Every structure is written in structure tokens, then in C-alpha cells.
Amino acid sequence: MAHKRRAAVLGSPIAHSLSPQLHTAAYAALGLDGDWTYDRFDVDEDALPGFFAGLGPEWAGLSLTMPLKRAVIPLLDGITDTAASVETVNTVVFHADGRRTGDNTDIPGLVAALHERGVEKVESAAILGAGATASSALAALARVCTGEVVAYVRSERRADEMRGWGERLGVPVRTASWSDAAGAFEAPLVISTTPKGGTDHLVAEVPARVGTLFDVVYDPWPTPLAAAWQARSGPVLSGLDLLVHQAVFQFEQFTGDTRPVLAAMRAAGLAAL
């Protein structure tokens, strides 16, 4: 009897992840739930090599969250140009010939989410924050923004990092102090990459006329910033938009099935929240 094909999400902590609900919903929508399973495992950087060593031929792929997105790279046979552009892997694919390769679906996921909302090109943009998600956002803006990106950061070290990513990605990046973060709201596209609560103090600074906000938080939702934005009739995207779009790309790489699953994943995510 053939083994079920397996996939899972790894990270630490991991109990909050919605990836199992999204992928399982996609399997069910396409009638694959009898052949595929998707689990979650709490795995940190120290445990990752041992976890990899114990995987059998039934495994098709892994989704990765923090703190594994860079720690996994030495364990792989190669990574895509997209992953290499930000030195971050959130997707591992196990191939029939035994190779294990890494990709970053957050970047095309961000772009796809923006395109879904009609944001094809913008003349400028702003990023709030400077962590790993900010570098992926910058890589996405390399495909969407035709002009300058302003990154609002908390330290000169972070400023140097964002300028470095900009040079590497071919995006003109100007950095500004976090104390001036309300200045981001003048941009036609604002991507907030801070954890929940990180922008709450800026709510009173939201102007009467706003562009598009992409707030990568999805729980709780809406964030105070997103609520203030919606109150001014500004378009708002959430972390769930990013999560489902990047998960579609993962699903296609794991299964090889390109039938539509976005609606099923989004419904499962909304139900879980």
C-alpha cells in the first residue's frame, strides 16, 4: 500500500500557524485529502538537522517559519534565485531524485496579493520595519515600485541593512528614523512589517487621504492601524492575504497540481481566525 504524501510547517513556536488549515482545505477542495497530509512540528535551529535526517521518501515539502528561514540553507542542495535574493527560504521541496531545494514564496505571494487588489505599479512606497519580512517586502517592491522606497527603521544598523538590501535588489532605498514613521502615510503604498502592536501609536497620525496599506499582521485583525485606514476608505491588505497567496505557490510546488485553491485556502483561514 502506497504511503500518503506528506508536507508540514516547521518553526518555533509553531502552534499559531494557520498553514495546516490552508493546505488541508486545498487537499479537500481538489479531492486529494485521501492521498496527502499536512502537519506542524515545533522545530528550532538546533533540532533542524536531525529532523531533516529522519525524513523518508513520502515527504514532498516543508513550509518554514522563524527561526529556520536562514538556518535551513546549509542543509539544502540549492536555492532559487528568488530565495537567494534575500537569503531567506520559507519553502523546501523534496524531488524524486533526492534533491532538496529551497524557495521563497513570500515574495511572489506579496506581489500576487497586491495584483489581486489592483496594485500593479506604484511610483513610490514606504516600509515600516526592517526585519526579515521587510527584506521580502523590498524584493516584492522591486517588481511593483518604479521609484524610491523609504524604510522607517529603529537603528542605524537596520538602516544600513535596508540600504544594503536595496543595492542588492536594485531598488533605490532611503531610510528614515522610526520617530518619523508617520511620514510613511504619504506614500501611495505602505507595507507594515512590524509585529502586532508595533504601529498602534501611529493611528492618530493617519491622514484624511491615504493610499494602500499592506499590514502583514493577521491576528488580531483588523489592527488599529488597519481599522483607522479603513475608516478613511483606504484599501487594506492583511497578513492573511500574504499567507494564502504564498501558500498557493507552496501547494503547487509540493503537489504539482495547479488547479485553483486560493478561495478554499482563504475561506479556511478566515474560519480559523
pLDDT at position 131 is 84
Confidence (pTM): 0.95
d(CA 191, CA 28) in angstroms, rounded, equals: 33
Statement to judge: residues 147 and 213 lie in one domain: yes
Look at residue 1 and tell me whether its pLDDT is greater than 70. no
Same domain flag for 216 and 266: no
Residue 84: inside a domain, yes or no? yes
Q: Is 113 inside a domain boundary? A: no
Pairwise CA distance, residues 182 & 156, whole Å? 18
Judged on CB neighbours under 10 Å (0-12, 13-18, 19+), 174 is: middle
Same domain assignment for residues 67 and 23: yes
Residue 268 lies in a domain: yes
* Domain span at 197: 118-234
The CATH number of the domain holding residue 135 is 3.40.50.720
Total domain count, the chain: 2
Contact 20, 263 (CB under 8 A): no
The answer, yes or no, to whether residue 2 has pLDDT greater than 70, is no
Whether residue 13 has a cis bond before it, omega within 30° of 0: yes
Which tens digits make up the pLDDT trace of 175-197?
999 999 999 999 999 999 999 89
Query: Where residue 72 falls among pLDDT bands split at 50, 70, 90?
Result: very high
Q: Is 107 helix (H, G, I), strand (E, B) or coil?
A: helix
C-alpha pair distances (Å), 23 with each of 120, 170, 242: 27, 34, 14
Do 136 and 30 lie in one domain? The reply is no
Residues annotated as part of the active site: 69
Give the Cα separation of 45 and 71 in Å (integer): 6
The pLDDT of 125-147, averaged and rounded, is 95
Does 206 share its domain with 252? no
Q: Return the H-helix or E-strand segment holding 190.
A: strand 189-192
